[in-house]
Amino acid sequence: MIVGGGIGGLATALALAGHGIPSHVAEQAAAFGEIGAGLQLAPNASWALSRLGVLARVHESAVFPARMVWMDAVNGEPLTTLDLGSAFVERYGFPYLVMHRSDLLEALLAACRANPLVTLRNNQSFTSLVDRGDVVDVSFADGTTMRASGVVGADGLWSRVRAAVVADDAVCSGYIAYRGAIPMADVSAHAGLDNVMLWTGPDMHFVQYPLRRGELYNQVAVFKSNRYAAGAEHWGTPDELEECFSACAPLVRTALTRIKRDRRWPMYDRLPVTTWSRGRVTLIGDAAHPMLQYLAQGACQALEDAVVLADAIASSPDVDLSDAFRAYQDARIERTSRVQTLARAWGEYWHLHPGDELDRRNVFLRSRTADDYTHTDRFYGYRGAP
């Protein structure tokens, strides 16, 4: 039983089916779908998608940016560049992709629907489970109960399955995001339309990149709200957005006018844990290790989880499933904990205020070469090893 039919849940079902293992995906929504716009997929995600057999389908709607460009959002000057061309592909075996979240989900969904080992059900809202040692009974809001050999919680940051394994709370960073994709024809021509553009400033950043074969342009504005307080509702408002970005360079201020104000996304994560498996219940993706978005590794780590989990189950078919779940956890928990922790630190590095630390950072960034992959190897070179 896989609880949650998002990217991680469908990838897990597909990975299990690749080993001949049937699964049931329970999705609470009336239809399978993804909220949000852009998604960055580093080579470690492409490795997983290749294992799942959907990489060619993903490439049909993806964009292959030429480089990542880091800009100073206040003065508009470049800080550093990461070349994503031939040297990058040769080093990691796969290109860097950017795409619409819904396009990735559709690729996974089509593959699941075509596989007789995957059962997909909507309107199944998980409420509770009972691990009976040899099976797990799973209950849903409509009063139905299903029995499974094991349960994989793939139900995201606010995972209900997680409560059966870990007692903790999500942590709000005080940052909030506004995002949206606009037609490429509506974007003013300037350098960067074939790049992933990152603009950073004190307590804020702005990200831009093309989507869907270059037909759309994704934009995300993120800032720290001075009004945030635990339990408060009115914080991160559009007027704060305007105020935070008011001192930015003209290109950023102009682009900001195309960001919709009708919805905003508070940014949460959780602290790394020492275990996310208990008996015949385990977690993947944001249910196991939700992280802030600064490393663009959330979906990548979920895809890695799916492949490693399926491999662990398939490698020991005669072993108790709880042992396979622990083996999967042991193979993944150190890596994902490190990514969670580094994502927080990377956000702090982006959002520095004027001062000595910012000056030292900028001197370092300007000194590095575009083909220096020293700091990306740990993320992008993963191929299933701990």
Q: Residue 354: helix, strand or coil by DSSP? A: coil
Half-sphere exposure of 114 (CA within 13 A, CB side): 9
Cα radius of gyration rounded to whole Å, the chain = 21
Cα separation, 151 vs 137, whole angstroms: 9
| Residue 269 near residue 292, CB atoms below 8 Å | yes
Is the dihedral angle over the CA atoms 142, 145, 148, 154 positive or is it negative?
Answer: positive
Most distant pair of Cα atoms in the chain: their distance: 63
Catalytic residues: 209
Cα separation, 245 vs 223, whole angstroms: 8
- The number of residues in the chain equals 386
Q: Give CA angle at 374 (369, 380), nearest 5°.
A: 115
Cα separation, 338 vs 341, whole angstroms: 5
Cα separation, 379 vs 110, whole angstroms: 28
Cα separation, 95 vs 24, whole angstroms: 32
User: Quick one: tokens of 342?
Assistant: 């580094």
- How many secondary structure helices (H) and strands (E) does the chain include? 12, 17
Give me the DSSP letters along 150-175: -EEE---TT-SGGGGT-----EEEEE
